[in-house]
Structure 1
Amino acid sequence: MFKNNVGGIDRILRILVGAGLLIGFVLNRDSAYSWLYLIGIIPLVTGLLATCPLYSLFGLNTCPMKR
């Protein structure tokens, strides 16, 4: 469906940040703005799938070249 364009450290950071934000949502569920933590779904999914639609739109690619 989408071409892999997220790789290496970029992918790891996306997964860690996304998971951290979702954990923050669970821990701070009573806060008025806790729903903002749900934005962590985006970096988590793009990190797990190794594809980012915005990277495709702007022609960016952090995956190593295949030989």
Structure 2
Amino acid sequence: MRRNLATWDRVARLVVGAVLIALVFVGPQTPWGWIGIVPIVTALAGFCPAYRIFGLSTCPLSPKRP
């Protein structure tokens, strides 16, 4: 797996994931907040499968495919 997430994208995913998980404990307290695990895992891995499917990349170090 090649990285396809830039640093700013990874930080944004960590923040969004943390906020979603916080909603499980504070706020509406619905189990839907556990979906926040997905952006946290993709941020930690530096790879987003959806970006690969659509041919996107925010990482400046990864070469673009023709």
TM-score (norm 2): 0.81
- Among all aligned residue pairs of Structure 1 and Structure 2, give the percentage whose two residues are the same amino acid: 39
Equivalent residues in 2 for 1:35-54 (5 A)? 35-54=31-50
Q: Which amino acid is the alignment partner of residue 34 of structure 2?
A: L
Q: The residue matched to 2:58 in structure 1 has which SS?
A: coil
Number of the residue aligned with 1:22: 21
Across the two proteins, how many residue pairs are aligned to each other? 62
Q: CA deviation at 1:28?
A: 4.5
Consecutive aligned runs of 4 or more in structure 1 exceeding 3 Å deviation: none
**Aligned-residue CA RMSD (Å):** 1.7
TM-score (norm 1): 0.80
Number of the residue aligned with 1:61: 57
